[in-house]
Chain A
Amino acid sequence: MPTPTKGPRLGGSPAHEKLILANLARELFKHGRIQTTETKAKRVRPLAERLITKAKRNDLAARREVRKTINEKDVFIALFEEIGPRFANRDGGYTRIVKTGPRKGDAAPMAIIELVEELVVEQPKKAAKAAAKKAAQKDKVAVLSGEADETTDAADEAKA
């Protein structure tokens, strides 16, 4: 069972909080990054990530679940067509929150929440690194065995 969120609801009532979070999530998917207060950013993150996970699953049940929250058709389609596949090889952690200091006017601590860019480059890099390491290891082994052969050859030559 999920732990209930501490403190009062955002906006005063549970219904208003639900609306605020749904609207924030929708705008996040629409624009890729949004600036909001730290508290709201922290509260919208789990919702947004759960929606992306559902977008990755991409079956009828998932679509209907997401449609309950995302009420704009264009954003809904973009979420399933673009954002979901973009995070295909990332298990969670689809968003990043960066604090940006107090807001002028009421000094509310602000933050930027954004979708993490897909790191296509990183995975092949890792594989390449591993391959390079393996190759280096093989070379080492070859050199070692080659050296051993050479020493025995040298010994044979010395005998002859």
Chain B
Amino acid sequence: MPVPKRKMSRSNTRHRRAQWKVSAVHTVPCPQCKSAKLPHAACGVCGTYKGRQILAV
């Protein structure tokens, strides 16, 4: 069975792990209340989507 020939250095390990990053959630301003909301989704603050009240606030 193939096995690693050499121990992986801490540097290499840390370089590999450093590439795993989080990215910020993309948001758009709500046309009704100007707060940040997910695109193509109802606003969580005022509960509207395309001028229609969807969620109870």
- Range of interface residues on B (Cβ < 8 Å): under 10
Which residues of chain B are within 8 angstroms of A99 by Cβ–Cβ distance?
38, 40-42
Asked if A152 is an interface residue, CB under 8 A from chain B, the answer is no
Report the minimum CB–CB distance from A147 to chain B (whole Å): 44
A112→B44 contact, CB < 8 A: no
How far, in angstroms, from A95 to B31 measured CA to CA in the complex?
A: 24
Assess whether B38 is in contact with A112, with CB atoms less than 8 Å apart: no
The distance in angstroms between the C-alpha atoms of A139 and B54, with both chains bound, is 44
A98 is an interface residue with CB less than 8 A from chain B:
yes
Tell me if A100 counts as interface (CB < 8 A to partner B).
yes
Q: Is A101 an interface residue (CB 8 A)?
A: yes
Complex: how many Å from CA A99 to CA B44? 11
- Chain B interface, >50% SS class: loop
Asked if A98 contacts B49 (CB within 8 A), the reply is: yes
A112: nearest chain-B partner, CB-CB:
B54
Tell me, rounded to whole Å, the shortest Cβ–Cβ distance linking B28 to chain A.
Answer: 13
Interface of chain A: mostly helix, strand, loop or mixed: strand
- The answer to whether A98 touches B54 (Cβ under 8 A) is yes
Alpha-carbon separation in the docked complex, A109 to B57 (Å): 19
> Which residues of B lie under 8 Å from residue A100 when comparing CB positions?
41-42, 44, 54-55
The docked-state distance in angstroms from the alpha carbon of A101 to that of B44 is 8
Contacts of B49 in A (CB 8 A): 98
Nearest residue, chain B, Cβ from A99: B41
Complex: A14 Cα to B54 Cα, angstroms: 32
A-B CB contact pairs (8 Å), 20 listed: A98-B41, A98-B42, A98-B49, A98-B54, A99-B38, A99-B40, A99-B41, A99-B42, A100-B41, A100-B42, A100-B44, A100-B54, A100-B55, A101-B38, A101-B41, A101-B42, A101-B44, A112-B42, A112-B54, A112-B55
Q: A98-B41, A101-B44 given; name 9 further pairs at CB < 8 Å.
A: A98-B42, A98-B49, A98-B54, A99-B42, A100-B42, A101-B41, A101-B42, A112-B54, A112-B55
